[in-house]
A = this chain, B = another copy of it.
Amino acid sequence: MNFYDKLKFTSDGLIPAIIQDHATGRVLMMAWMNRASIEATVATGKTHFWSRSRQKFWMKGESSGHTQAVKDIAFDCDGDTLLIQVEQIGSACHEGYRSCFFRSAQKDGGERVTEPQLATPEQIYGKK
């Protein structure tokens, strides 16, 4: 029994992957994988995803250099979500924050930024 056989993909062939910093426990991002990106992640030890907006296979960090080295791949009871422990180089978020979850909701309905911005998108990707 291969663990792939326990996974349930959406009708589009996708499964959500939660990416967590293995050392600090900080949840860094959530992105979607298809079977090919899981296989590439396992084979290379670097996270690969499927971009729904761009309809494109991509390696995390391919343009920013901010790659993720995989430490563990877990899957949930229903087999419909992955939890991947990684060692993150630089920032997980394309907006230059360590985690994409850098904003928290406030009781008054507003929001507050909960971590420092490490770099601007221009510094990461170059000026457009």
Interface, chain A (partner B; CB < 8 A)? 1-4, 6, 16, 18, 20, 24-27, 29-30, 42, 72-78, 81, 83, 93-95, 97, 100-106, 109-111, 114
The answer to whether A109 and B16 touch (CB under 8 A), given A93-B77, A104-B73, is: no
Counting chain B CB atoms within 10 Å of each CB, the highest count among A3, A4, A6, A77 belongs to A77
| Chain B residues, CB < 8 A from A114 | 74
> A76 contacts B100, CB within 8 Å?
yes
A36–B100 CA distance with the chains assembled, in angstroms? 24
> B27 contacts A18, CB within 8 Å?
yes
Closest chain B residue to A6 by CB distance? B111
A111–B73 CA distance with the chains assembled, in angstroms? 10
